[in-house]
Structure formats: structure tokens, C-alpha cells
Amino acid sequence: MGTKTVSASSLRSNLADALDAVNENEILIVTRRGKKERAIIDIDKLEDLLEASSPEYLEEILKARESSEFLTHEEVFGDI
């Protein structure tokens, strides 16, 4: 697994490109003032990491994937 590093200010300017750079084999490290602060990770990789520490989480993910119910962006985030 590899990593790429991007500053927070560069991330703001190039969010779409930065998100495209993240895949199951790459993690994007976000820095502020040269210090590593956050990481952007592929959702499947995150689920794998969570699964490794919580079997209950995997069960919930499987149930959600089998469900035909979903929420719209507006239902989840409202007027943010």
C-alpha cells in the first residue's frame, strides 16, 4: 500500500483530482503546515480495516449492501 501527500490548501484547490488519486492501494495523507493531520482512504479499504477489528461491523455492512433502501444526499446532509 502506498501513500501520497497533499497540503490542505492544495486539497481545497484540487479536491476532485485528489479524490481520483485515492484507490484501494493508495492513501492520501493531508498535511497542515507540514504536519501530517488526516488521511483520505478508499471506502472499501476502510471497511476492510474496520472489519479486521469488528466482526459486528462487517455484518452491518453486508446487511446494508443487501438492502434496497437508501437515503438521498438531502436526507443525509440537509441544507449544508
Q: What is the DSSP string of 5-36?
A: EEEHHHHHHTHHHHHHH-BTTEEEEEEETTEE
| Global pTM value | 0.60
> Which among 27, 79, 65 is positioned nearest to 49, based on CA atoms?
27
| Host domain of residue 51 | 2-69
Q: What is the pLDDT at residue 21?
A: 85
Q: What is the pLDDT at residue 15?
A: 92
| Residue 80, in any domain of the structure | no
Question: pLDDT tens digits, residue range 32-59?
Answer: 999 999 999 999 888 888 777 888 877 8
Does residue 71 register a pLDDT over 80? no
Does residue 30 register a pLDDT over 80? yes
Q: What is the pLDDT at residue 28?
A: 93
| Residue 15, in any domain of the structure | yes
**Number of domains, the chain:** 1
17: domain CATH number is 3.40.1620.10
| Residue 78, in any domain of the structure | no
